[in-house]
Amino acid sequence: MLSTPKAPGNLTSAQQQEMQRVAREFEAVFIGQMTQTMFSGLKSEAPFGGGHAEDMWRSQLASEMGNTIAASGGIGIADNVYRSMLAQQEMATRAATEAAPAPHPAATQPAATLIEE
């Protein structure tokens, strides 16, 4: 399960949940690819081994193993990806805030002051 670091204040709960889902999905795909690579070195025995069907089955098995491992807590990749996504969101929010143009000086003065000048 993902730990929940403090998210930037501009993210809704739904956005945070979506980011967590994407991080878990990334971890599942990564683990599936690693598992598939592990399976590539295995040789099949006769009379039932080999062929196109076995290649498809192994690919599906690797993918499901990745999904299962990620869903049961994973190996820590999703947590790090989620933290990275939050950090990037925080930097983007900060950059947008700092890049916002400063208000014109007249906009900060009371209207009566502007008329007298």
Tens digit of each residue's pLDDT, the chain (117 residues)? 455 555 666 788 898 899 999 999 999 999 999 999 888 877 777 666 777 777 778 888 999 999 999 999 999 999 999 999 999 888 888 887 777 666 666 655 555 554 555
Burial class (CB in 10 A: 0-12, 13-18, 19+), 78: buried
In a domain, residue 4? The reply is no
In a domain, residue 27? The reply is yes
**CA nearest neighbour of 41 among 26, 62, 70:** 62
How many domains is the chain partitioned into structurally? 1
In a domain, residue 78? The reply is yes
In a domain, residue 17? The reply is yes
In a domain, residue 92? The reply is yes
What pLDDT is attached to residue 75?
93
In a domain, residue 70? The reply is yes
CA distance 15 to 8: 11
In a domain, residue 22? The reply is yes
What residue numbers bound the domain in which 84 lies? 13-116
What pLDDT is attached to residue 78?
94
What pLDDT is attached to residue 92?
83
In a domain, residue 5? The reply is no
